A and B are shown apart, each in its own frame.
Chain A
Amino acid sequence: MSSPLTQSEKRPVTTLAGMPRWLAFSLLTIVCWGAWGAVSKVASDGVDANTNQIFFTLGLLPLIALVMRSPRLRGGHQRSAGMAWAFVTGILGGTGNIAFFYALVVGGKASIVVPVTALFPLVTVTLAVSFLRERLSGSQKLGLLLALVAIYLLSMV
Chain B
Amino acid sequence: MTYSWILFASIALVFWGITGVTQKLATNRISSELSFLWFAYAMIAISLVLMLTVTMHWHVRPLIFWLALAGGTLNGLGALTSFTALESGGKASIVISLISLYPLLTVAFAVLVLHEKLTARQGVGIALAIVAAILLSLEPKAPEAQGERS
Q: Is the CB of A33 within 8 A of B50?
A: no
Q: Is the CB of B81 within 8 A of A25?
A: yes
What is the size, in residues, of chain B's interface with A at 8 Å between Cβ atoms?
126
B74 to chain A, nearest CB (A): 4
Q: A36-B78, A82-B35, A132-B92 are in contact. Are A75 and B150 (CB under 8 A)?
A: yes
Q: Is the CB of A147 within 8 A of B44?
A: no
Q: A38-B110, A54-B50 are in contact. Are A22 and B11 (CB under 8 A)?
A: no
B20 to chain A, nearest CB (A): 3
Chain B residues closer than 8 Å to A51, beta-carbon distance: 56-58, 60
CA distance A153 to B133 in the complex (A): 15
Q: Is the CB of B68 within 8 A of A55?
A: yes
| Interface bin, chain A | 35 or more
> Which residue of chain B has the shortest Cβ distance to A43 in the bound complex?
B67
Q: A73-B31, A87-B39, A150-B128 are in contact. Are A10 and B78 (CB under 8 A)?
A: no
Prevailing SS type, chain B contact patch:
helix
Indicate whether A17 reaches chain B with its CB closer than 8 angstroms: no
Q: Is the CB of A56 within 8 A of B5?
A: no
A residues with a Cβ closer than 8 A to B are 2, 4-5, 7-14, 19-26, 28-43, 46-48, 50-60, 62-64, 67-68, 70, 72-73, 75-79, 81-100, 102-104, 106-108, 112-113, 116-129, 131-132, 134, 136-137, 139-140, 142-156
Task: List 18 additional contacts besides A13-B89, A29-B78, A121-B93; criterion CB under 8 Å.
Answer: A20-B90, A20-B139, A26-B90, A29-B99, A32-B78, A32-B81, A39-B67, A85-B26, A90-B40, A93-B43, A95-B46, A100-B12, A123-B13, A123-B14, A124-B96, A127-B92, A147-B128, A150-B101
